Amino acid sequence: MAERRVNVGWAEGLHARPASIFVRAATAAGVPVTIAKADGNPVNAASMLAVLGLGAQGGEEIVLASDAEGAEVALDRLAKLVSEGLEELPETV
């Protein structure tokens, strides 16, 4: 299973707008991805309610994971989005 550990780059954490940006990006990734707090249970990264339910704060470490083919590239892009607090999914890493 491929995984990326990153710190949330949005000051407000994964709430409201940042969570929406992340969920759209996870859905567009084309592979199933999970997200979890470093010490928590993974949830579906494409589910707005699940992502909001994490309560991930700015600066907090999260774990993105997937065992699908092509997961490495998708996780790299999502990790960049989260760690840099970007407004949209980067075209390339």
- Active-site position among 15, 48, 60, 83: 15
Pick the closest to residue 46 from 69, 9, 80, 21 (CA basis): 21
pTM: 0.92
39 counts as catalytic? no
The CATH classification number of 2-84 equals: 3.30.1340.10
Taking alpha carbons only, the member of 68, 64, 35 closest to residue 52 is 35
Q: Where are the domains of the chain?
A: 2-84
Q: With bands split at pLDDT 50, 70 and 90, how would you rate the model's confidence at 48?
A: very high
List, for residues 51-87, the tens digit of each pLDDT value.
Answer: 999 999 999 999 999 999 989 999 999 999 999 998 8
**Collapsed DSSP state (helix, strand, coil) of residue 36:** strand
Reduce the DSSP state of residue 35 to 3 states and report it: strand
